[in-house]
Amino acid sequence: MSTVNHQGKVAFVTGGNRGIGLETARQLARAGVLPVIGARSEASGEAAVGQLRDEELTADYLIFDVTNPADHQRAYDHFHASVGRLDILINNAGVYLEGETGVKDLYDAASVPEEVLRDTLEANFFAPVLLTQKLLPLLKASAAGRIVNLSSILGSLTLHRDPASPIYGANSVAYDTSKTAINAYTVHLAKVLQQSRVKVNAAHPGWVQTSMGGSSAPMSVDDGAKTSVQLALLPEGGPNGGFFHLGEALPW
């Protein structure tokens, strides 16, 4: 983590009321950032903020559904009115609709239903892209805007083609495709932002013990949030348009 003073920075963490998102908010708060948690209900938002408050950490929340364009506008209005900028956007919210990660795939490329494809791409690709576009003016107003797109090693086409890779046998085509797509968007957005103070990178958190990752996952939530936090707090000379896990670049 950078040693730069991050006091006063404001972050928006979508899907931040549990799992990797909540731990990301926790670690950002410890670094002096105010995390605003996107939660789908008042109860889940209050519970998340209350949990951090019990640890003497300051956080806030917005009722937010990443697939609802009206909530994108409400998020913009909130940050524009409250601080006039956004320093960090972590596109953390997402879905996995093909079984338990790493255990059993319900479908393969020959059988995945249209509904699963559409719902997965909607939540994991279209929604974060449209949210990023909406909030980009506020990120450009920051002295050091940072965008972190939660991806996955399962989005790596290089590793899917390598019989020796650990993901060669994975067949969650909807989820994997959505992460390949968000990686592509990361690359293209980085080109647009290369003359600005905003950086965008894709993060592979690892296979983490969450409701999405399942009980067989080898990584703790604490470790799973570290890549997002590292990329959120990048110094001025940090990378732009990369794909990382715990500081190591991953193949596209």
Which residues are designated catalytic?
175
Q: Can you tell me the distance from the alpha carbon of 168 to that of 194, in angstroms, rounded to the nearest whole number?
A: 33
3-class secondary structure per residue, 190-212: HHHHCCCCCEEEEECCCCECCCC
**Whole-Å CA distances, 225 to 55, 173, 190, 241, 245:** 17, 24, 22, 19, 10
Cα torsion angle, 29, 32, 38, 42, sign: positive
How many other CB atoms are found less than 10 A from the CB of residue 50?
11
CB-count burial class (<10 Å; 0-12, 13-18, 19+) for 31? buried
Contacts of 114 by beta carbon, 8 Å cutoff, 6+ apart? none
Q: Can you tell me the distance from the alpha carbon of 146 to that of 198, in angstroms, rounded to the nearest whole number?
A: 6
Residue 102 CA, chain-centre distance (Å), reads 20
For the chain, strand residue ranges (E) read 10-13, 34-39, 60-63, 88-91, 99-100, 104-105, 146-150, 199-203, 243-245, 248-249
Q: Can you tell me the distance from the alpha carbon of 45 to that of 219, in angstroms, rounded to the nearest whole number?
A: 25
* Strand-pair partners of 91: 149
Q: Report residue 179 as tokens.
A: 């992460």
